[in-house]
Structures are given as C-alpha cells and as structure tokens.
C-alpha cells in the first residue's frame, strides 16, 4: 500500500448542552419562530456558557474524534476557528496540550465558515508531504462571543459547536481517502462578512477613545448569491476531479448556513435536494464546525452510509470557499 493519501478514519462532535429556541429569542428580540424559520430554516441553536471558550468545545470534539478513530495520539493538530481563545497565541497548541498529545505541531487556520475545508486540505497536505502520518482536524466556533446582542439577524442564525476528524496516511483507492481539494478566495468581498474591530487595521479602543465595533456583521443578500455560486461551482469541480458526474454524488454535505442556500446550491448543481443532509434546523450555523456536525448527524440518522460518494463544501468570510470529494468509510462518530 502506498501511503499517498489522507484517509478519514474518525469523527467526533460536541455541542454545548444549552439549547436556545426561536421562541426564546422572541422573548428578547423583535422576531418570531415563524420569521426565523421562513428565512433560515433554523429552529434551535446551542449556546455555550459565557465562562467557556472555543478551546473547551474543540477539546471535547477532538477527544471524541480520537475515540472514534481508536487512537490516543496524532502527529499534528489543525484547528479552524474564527473565535480563538485569544488573538495571541493560537488556540490549537492549548487544545493539543489538553488532549495529552504532547509537543506535536499545532496551529490555527482562519477561513471563517470555510475553515474546516481549509483545515482538511492543510491536514491532507501535511500527510502528503510526509510531515505527519496522522492529523487531528477540528472546526470549532463560539459565535455567541462575537454576536451583537441586539442584532436579530445574526443571533437567529448562529450557534456554538465543534466537530473534528482524524486523518491518517493511506491509499488513494480506499474508502475515506480525500480527493483533491478545491479552494478559493476573493478578497474584494472582505467587507461582506466581517468583525471590524480588534485587529491591526482597527484595534479595539476603549469607550473613551471612540469604541469600535467588536461584533460580527454580514451583508446577507450579497453573501447569499456568492455562497450559492461558489459552493455549487466548487462542488462540481471536486466531483469532476474525483471522476464523478452529478448523478454519481450520493450526498452533498454543505456548510449549514441557511436552508434556502442549501436548496439553491442543489438546484444550481441539478442535484436532488434530498441528497443534501440538513442539520441547521437543530443547531443553526455553527461556522467552522458545521460540516463535521452535519456529517455526524447524517451518519446517526442513517442518511449517510459506507460507500456513499460524498462532496463536502463550504463558503465563508474572506471571501473563501472550498470543496472536497470522499467515498464515505465505515466509521462510527463519537
């Protein structure tokens, strides 16, 4: 066997126990269950305790992914997140330490909601280069820490959560082997999805110095159009690189941003909507965690089984997007 591919061999997820329903939000904001469901398809989202941090979610998901893979160690940890514990240092080394992984390579990847796809490609690259024989890839976000409490549009959409996979070196023909990733970006749209203050361009000031805007902002209509076009086109490219036609795709596991976006992506690809697993109704948009969370949910409900030809895709701030093909292996999520 030639170890020239990254093979998915473990899957773990974690959601904070506290669920917030649309009715709960309606008691705080000018919104309603009907308004939220009609625009997003979301009914519930999970919110972490304010005393928690992204690393806490990532550790739980990472531990479960290692258990699913039957492993106690890996050679590297790649963490995709928009909500690191601190601007400096990266969160991944702390996660690796808390998982008892010792002094392995560990670093963060920032690509917003496309983060998991970027991290997956990075992990596969470490394996292809011979730098690592196994990699723990985590997508974890705690958007409750960056949402404007008064913004009904973002608070109704986003939830907290984490998902992780274990990659190992293996053969390109075996189940779980990742196809060639498709990645892209367009920085001319950087203003469409943004946390404006807190970086070097606009440091977060004290109120006496003029404040700043520390909250997540999104231009919904423009994001919708870009997300549909980019995810559909990237997915078709990933399928083509795997030698698949559209009819060969058994499941399209897309970033769980909005039900209308999921349906529009499927329609643009001329793929039946029933081949697109939906999990956002229960968890909302969990950013970098959404793809692994959707995968675990699909497996758990019987919608994703070994041998299925799957395309993973996501779109996020940057603007960024990505897709990857994989023939689903026989793994049990933890």
Catalytic residues: 113, 255, 285
Helices (H), the chain: 22-26, 33-40, 54-69, 92-98, 115-128, 152-157, 220-241, 259-269, 280-283, 290-300
Q: Which tokens hold the place of 96? A: 């690796």
CA gap 215, 304 in Å, rounded: 36
- DSSP letter (8 states) at residue 47: -
Contact criterion met (CB below 8 Å) for 135 and 167: yes
Element (H, E) at 322: strand 320-327
Cross-strand pairs, 183: 322
Residue whose C-alpha is closest to residue 180's, from 242, 122, 120: 242
In total, the chain counts a number of residues equal to 334
Residue whose C-alpha is closest to residue 62's, from 89, 97, 90: 97
Q: Cα dist. 277→22, 246, 264, 290 in Å?
A: 21, 16, 14, 12
Spell out the residues 6+ positions from residue 310 whose beta carbon is closer than 8 angstroms to its own: 249, 250, 251, 252, 253, 304, 325, 326, 327, 328
Contact criterion met (CB below 8 Å) for 248 and 284: no
């Amino acid at each position: 066997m030639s170890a020239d591919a990254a093979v998915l061999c473990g899957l773990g997820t974690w959601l904070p126990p506290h669920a917030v329903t649309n009715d709960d939000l309606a008691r705080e904001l000018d919104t309603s269950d009907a308004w939220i469901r009609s625009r997003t398809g979301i009914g519930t989202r999970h919110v972490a305790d304010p005393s928690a941090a992204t690393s806490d979610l990532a550790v739980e998901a990472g531990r479960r992914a290692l258990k699913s893979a039957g492993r106690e160690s890996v050679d590297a940890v790649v963490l995709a997140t928009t909500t690191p514990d601190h601007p400096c240092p990266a969160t991944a080394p702390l996660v690796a330490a808390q998982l008892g992984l010792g002094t392995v390579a560990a670093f963060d990847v920032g690509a917003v909601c496309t983060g998991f796809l970027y991290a997956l490609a990075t992990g596969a690259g470490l394996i292809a280069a011979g730098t690592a024989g196994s990699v723990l890839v985590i997508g974890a976000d705690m958007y409750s820490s960056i949402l404007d409490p008064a913004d009904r549009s973002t608070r109704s959409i986003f939830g907290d959560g984490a998902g992780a996979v274990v990659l190992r070196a293996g053969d390109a023909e075996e189940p779980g082997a990742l196809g060639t990733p498709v990645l892209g970006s367009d920085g001319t749209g950087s203003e469409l999805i943004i946390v404006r203050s807190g970086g070097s361009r606009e440091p977060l000031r004290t109120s006496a110095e003029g404040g700043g805007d520390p909250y997540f902002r999104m231009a919904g209509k423009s994001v919708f159009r870009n997300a549909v076009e980019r995810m559909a086109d990237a997915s078709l490219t990933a399928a083509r690189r795997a030698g698949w036609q559209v009819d060969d795709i058994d499941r399209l596991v897309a970033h769980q941003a909005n039900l209308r976006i999921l349906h529009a992506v499927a329609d643009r690809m001329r793929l039946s909507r029933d081949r697109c697993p939906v999990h956002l109704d229960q968890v909302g948009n969990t950013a970098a965690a959404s793809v692994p969370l959707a995968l675990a949910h699909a497996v758990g409900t019987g919608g994703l089984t070994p041998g299925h030809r799957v395309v993973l895709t996501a779109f996020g701030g940057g603007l960024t997007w990505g897709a990857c093909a994989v023939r689903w292996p026989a793994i049990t999520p933890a």
